[in-house]
Structure 1
C-alpha cells in the first residue's frame, strides 16, 4: 500500500459512499489496482480473481460517482485458532489520495471485521503504513497471523505485518 499525506491547497472531495462491491465492480477494482501492482505495492491478481472475490471488497466512490478506492477483507483463524481477519488489496487512486478516502475505507473495513466476529485484523504493507498506524495498528504479530496467509507473504517485497485488536 502506498500511503499519501494530505496535500495543502487541495479541495477536499468527500466520499459519497463506501459500500460492498459487487461482481459488476470487479473490472473497475482491477483497473484501480493495476498502478499499485506496477509500483510493487500490491500483488498481481488476474481480473477473474476480482470477480470471484468481489464479496471480500468494499469500494469508495466520490460524490461524482468515480471509484476512488478499494479494500478487501477475508476472515480466517489466526495461529491460535481465534477469529481474525486479513485486510488486503487496499488502494486509493492517485488523484484521490490525501482526501480522507483511505481513512473512510479503513474505518468501514474495521467495522465490517468486527461485524464478522474478528477479534484482530492483520495486514501487510511494503510502504510506511502510516495510515494503518494512525488507525490503531501496530507493527508485529507475524507469529500470530493466520498461518496460510503468512506463508504466502513474499519476503522479497519487504512487507511488514501489522495487527490491530478489535474491541
Structure 2
C-alpha cells in the first residue's frame, strides 16, 4: 500500500471502513484515493459498487414496498445520526474534559433548538416531501468535517512549524 492512512491502521478504522463498504460503497469508493490504495484495490471497490447498484435495481419493488415505512422513521434516524456524529466530532477535537464542559453548557441550546424544531417538523406534510431529507444535511456536513479533520490538523501543524512561510 502506498502511504496507508493512519486511521486504517487501527482496528476502529478498519471496522468503520468495512462497515462503510457494505452500507454505502459510493462514499468509500470516493475516499479510496490512488495515493493510499493500489489500482487493484480501487478496481475491487468499483466492482463492489456496481454489484451494490445492480442489487438495488433488481430489488426496486421490494425497496419501493418498504420505503414509505422507512421514510416515517427518517426523523428519528437523522436526529440520532446527527447527534452521534456531533458528539464524536467534539470528543475528537476537544478531549473529554472540555467535551464535558461543552455538554453542560449546550443543554440549554439543545432545549431551545428542539423547542423550535419539533413543532416546525410536525407541520411538514406526511408525504415524501423533499424537505424531509434536509434533516440529513447536518450529517453530511459532520461526515465531511470528520474526513477533513486530520488533513486540516496536518496543514495547521505545517503552517505553525518553524521555518514555514506565512503570508
Give the TM-score normalised by structure 2. Answer: 0.26
TM-score if structure 1 supplies the norm length? 0.26
Larger strand percent = 1
Higher helix share: 2
Work out which of the two has the higher radius of gyration on C-alpha atoms and give 1 or 2: 2
